[in-house]
Amino acid sequence: MKKSKVVRGGSLVAVAVAAAVLANAAPAAAATPAGSADALTVDIRLSNGVIPVGQVGPLAQSNTTGPTSNQIVNVDIPLLVAGGSGTTHSTQDAATGAVHSDAQMGDVKLRILDTLTGNPPPLPSQYTIKAVESHCDSTTAGFTGDSKLSDVKLGPLPIPVAFPPNTRIGIPTLGEAIFNEQIMLPDGRFSVTALHVTFGGPVAPITSGDVWLARSICGPASPPVPMASGAGLWIGLGLLGMIAIPVGSKIVRSRRRAATIA
């Protein structure tokens, strides 16, 4: 009976070790995607009541784990944003680990700015953009990305001819518009947004909020090593063997001692 108990215990240890290896074999499933893109996201966190607090989107979001492409048509979010269609793509090359993301949106009307400046719907919008798009790429050489905006009209605000990275225009009493925003996120990914409107200030009707139009995100290029096959499988089996062999040896020694006593 003692020998049987020892063998069962050894089997349970081996099963537990195998389960641990397999559990650690696919952490990427729960990890942040290597890349993502979305056409529109609105996040109003603190407001004095003119615009309701809440979040819309990310709309038409895609990411490298799927869906790798997405779209939205006839965008109409009351008091916030209206537009035509938006498309996104986000992919990762399985061989090289290179990441590509892009996002586009057309016929944008920033109704949130109309509403906050006394020109709410159904009055014609004074804050319009014919088209916005962004893209980013990640390779072993690093990150690249850019944005394009066409026919931008933001009420009385002066609009530059070109939009180099992180072009900023203040919106009096409301916040700031950032064109072709290019930043590194805290998790190490690279983010490119065609237009990022931030709200806030001591007298702003929205004291904390953001609107992102055509946002593309790329993480560092790193070829995936699946544990189910190839190098990942051999690594997993090697770890299992290193742990299981000492356990098996202990079981054999225990069985020999038990046989001698018997």
3 pLDDT more than 80: no
Residue 199 pLDDT level (bands cut at 50, 70, 90): very high
Q: What is the pLDDT of residue 184?
A: 97
Q: What is the pLDDT of residue 13?
A: 42
Q: What is the pLDDT of residue 238?
A: 52
Q: Fill in the DSSP letter of residue 204.
A: -
Which residues contact residue 235 at a Cβ distance below 8 angstroms, ignoring those fewer than 6 apart? 225, 227
Q: Where exactly are the structural domains of the chain?
A: 35-218
DSSP 152-176: EEETTS---SS--TTEEEEETTTEE
85 pLDDT more than 70: yes
CB 10 within 8 A of CB 247: yes
**Beta pairing class for 62-63 and 167-171:** unpaired
Q: What is the pLDDT of residue 224?
A: 59
Q: What is the pLDDT of residue 262?
A: 52
